[in-house]
Amino acid sequence: MEEKLDFSLPEKKQKYSLVPKLTVILLLVLVILTIVNLLRHSYEKPPSVNSASSFSQDKIKELASKLASRNLYTRAARVWQDYLSSAKVPDTERAKALFQVGTLFEKAGLYEEAIEYYYRSEITAKLSELEQQINTHIKDCFEKLGKFSALRYELMDRTSFKESEKAGSRIVAEIGAEKITESDLDAIIERTIDNQLAPMMAFMTTEQ
């Protein structure tokens, strides 16, 4: 019996390839590294190169002076404020810097803020070279604000020999739990007069 010969070609065995698996692994590694890098940068605080605290006091003066020379008084005041909030400054130097902030706010027409910083200056340190200047500037600010009763009490306090008794602190009326002092009453009267005059201001000349 004749044996049949098989002339068909044997099937090629598919070679197992590692390329797809390696590609997936590499992609996963890249994704993990990217996530780690993003997390690291999110927790890192970038250095503040523009902060006023990175400047010396001389540089602060230079920057504030340059801003003020361009009539940017409020920005110049902010430079000093940033510096004082972040730097350790002796009381005498701090008082001088606070006085500078006050003068800058005054030039900017922010008289209430200016008065606050003049007060801050003299509370921080009593400096004889600034005492008279602060008195004059505070007087000017109250006048420009039109707060003449407050100015009167301010002058009384500054010329009084009795520090314990503050001018305008005497109670003149009580409404329930609220106590009204002399200065409160004067402020109420001033506001009432201002409100009554406001509608007529448009018809009044500068001399009036």
The pLDDT assigned to 17 comes to 57
* 72-78, Cβ contacts within 8 angstroms, sequence gap of 24 or more: 73/104, 73/105, 73/107, 73/108, 74/104, 74/105, 74/108, 74/110, 76/104, 77/101, 77/104, 77/105, 77/108
Domain 52-145: state its class.
mainly alpha
- Cα gap 130→3, rounded to integer Å: 126
Domain ranges of the chain: 52-145
pLDDT value at 31 more than 70: yes
- Cα gap 133→157, rounded to integer Å: 16
Kindly indicate the confidence band of residue 140, based on its pLDDT and cuts at 50, 70 and 90: very high
- Record the pTM: 0.59
The pLDDT assigned to 148 comes to 80
Mean pLDDT on 169-189: 62
**Span 43-90, pLDDT tens digits:** 554 444 455 556 777 888 899 889 999 999 999 999 999 888 877 889
